Structure 1
Amino acid sequence: MAHQHGSPVIGVIGGSGIYDIPGLTNTRWETVHSPFGEPSDKLMFGELGGQAMVFLPRHGRGHRIPPSELNFRANIDALKRAGVTEILSVSAVGSLREDLPPGTFVLVDQFIDRSVARAKSFFGTGLVAHVSLAHPTCGRLRAAVAEACAELDIPHQVGGTYLVMEGPQFSTLAESNLYRTWGCDVIGMTNMPEAGLAREAEMCYASVAMVTDYDCWHPDHDNVTVEAVVKVLLENADKGRSLVKATVPRLADRAGPCEKGCQTALDFALITHPDARDRTLASQLDAVAGRVMQPPPDPA
């Protein structure tokens, strides 16, 4: 595992098509085990212009795993064990706003989590921690992605609220209209608890939400054909690959911890007294929280 404040290693979570980036070299698939179970797939390690990168197919290659059955904890833990320090999360979403048409990328800065069937924290009975999620994505990463979007002329919005639903069914019309009254911008099924777990693991996290169509609130939604959605998906995948490639050089030169505090998120989060901590859980958290659970060095 890379040192917490060493050279950045950029992780990408998304569909398999995102990984076919021209110039990606030294690629290899490796199994990374996690004490929280098995991640969605092997991790693909590679380099882009000399920058170390790690890729994870969120749903597994071939899209085998539905949203509610994703092992989010194992995915984030495995990336942490692989040395990843910053995560670019790329996902397809529906739009809840007329002015965010298909093909738009929303660089999310807030979430409303309506999922109900997922393990949402690495911590639990025997080792309690409370991490702030007031700002659940990394502003530094988001700014780098925004610069890359502008360079590539990708239609995008900087900032936005992502409503996370449980799935796998899409929302009802009543739910879709409700979420619009809440001021949500896009709706999807995967970015929480992913973002919260990345914060617990002290990893920078940016969410790139790629709009494929309007959610069912839109009066013309039912007129959208499968072919039209697939066309947008393929176009978004092309733009997503270009975006990752253009973003990587902007993240390669970081020295020291993230200025936004992502890599020190656990400094004051652990509540359970060291003498009362569950040893089994503590051992499982060696990658996620080892930095703050290690005994202090001898004063000598």
Structure 2
Amino acid sequence: MTLGIIGGSGVYRIDGLDGAAWQEVATPWGAPSDAILTGTLGGARMAFLPRHGRGHVHSPSEIPYRANIDALKRLGVTRIVSVSACGSFREEMAPGDFVLVDQFIDRTRLRPQSFFGTGCVAHVSLAHPTCPHLSAAAAEAAGATGVRVHVSGTYLAMEGPQFSTLAESRMYREAWGADVVGMTAMPEARLAREAEICYAPVAMVTDYDCWHEDYGAVDVAAVIATLTANAEHARGLVRGLPGVLPEPAPCPHNCDRALDHAIITAPDARDPSVLSRLDAVAARVL
């Protein structure tokens, strides 16, 4: 088993890896966001990918999501804990808190959403888009750092890179029932499911978006200050994960078998050029 960590804004490294080395990984979907840092921590094999690249060079809409997930799959990753910054629509989910997201509302529109398409069509279930088994371990590891953890939440994925308008913020909070808002967890969660990788997103609250009348519009300087404080908790979460991860086994929620009945294109109608791009993410069924 290899545990994948995707670091979002403010999380560009992890500490304490034995045998640490940055690896370049080629994929049929282009280059990932950055090289991938591999090594072992607490006896667990790990692969760390900075989602925006070191130095934060990729905007949310331009992150190579397919290449990122494909590259992690090629390195043997079977579980991904994804860390990202978010705004909060709930008073009780305050800046500095962590939220274990378990549902999504996806408003992104400029990003490729799937590994599959013409030549090989597949439909996976996203009714429950995250892995409860892995999320429970992430919640335990996060809680051990002293940060306040919320074990459930709905994430509104927006395109960005601008923040919400006040009207949007009120709609997401009051009419749609979202709990947090961010720009990067989709299509990442979709692609992890297609690649049959358990996925647990940890959203680090940095602000109250712009709905909260006591806080006003999102202030980037304040966001960065909160990110800096949260980053140490995020690294503590990663350090604590090896001690609380369940033993490698078939996922009780079937994340690792998401493609069992998903591919509907007849074998003799599948495009070989499309299949060649799926050699990592769908190798088990193809």
TM-score (norm 1): 0.91
1:187 to 181, 188, 195: 181
Structure with the higher fraction of residues in helix conformation: 1
Residue in 2 that maps onto 1:259 = 252
Q: How many Å apart are 1:19 and its aligned residue?
A: 5.8
Structure 2 matches for 1:202-241, cutoff 5 A? 202-222=196-216, 226-241=220-235
DSSP-derived class of the 2:284 partner: helix
* 1:246 equivalent in structure 2: 240
In structure 2, runs of 5+ residues without a counterpart are: none
Say if 2:7 and 2:49, in contact at 8 Å, map to a contact too: yes
Report % sequence identity. Answer: 61
Q: 1:271 to 1:225 in 2, by over 3 A?
A: closer
- Correspondence 1:271 to 2:264: yes
Per-residue CA distance 1:155-214 (angstroms, 9 max, x = gap): 011010000000011111111000012110000000000001000000000000000011
Q: Shift in Å at residue 16 of structure 1?
A: 7.7
Q: Number of residues paired by the alignment?
A: 285
Amino acid at match of 1:159: S
1:144 maps to 2:137: yes
Q: TM-score, normalised by structure 2?
A: 0.96
Letter of the 1:111 counterpart:
F
Q: Distance in 1 between matches of 2:18 and 2:226?
A: 28
User: Is 1:11 the counterpart of 2:4 in the alignment?
Assistant: yes
**Which has the higher Rg, Structure 1 or Structure 2?**
1
Unaligned runs of 5+ in 1: 1-7, 294-300
Equivalent-residue separation in structure 2 for 1:227 and 1:200 (angstroms): 37
1:32 is matched with which residue: 1, 19, 25?
Answer: 25
2:203 is the alignment partner of 1:197? no
Partner Cα distance (2:217, 2:268) in 1: 61
Letter in 1 for 2:283: G
Tell me if 1:103 matches 2:96: yes
- Partners of 1:292 and 1:191 lie apart in 2 by 26
Instruction: Label 1:224 to 1:201 Cα distance change in 2 as closer, same or farther (>3 A).
Output: closer
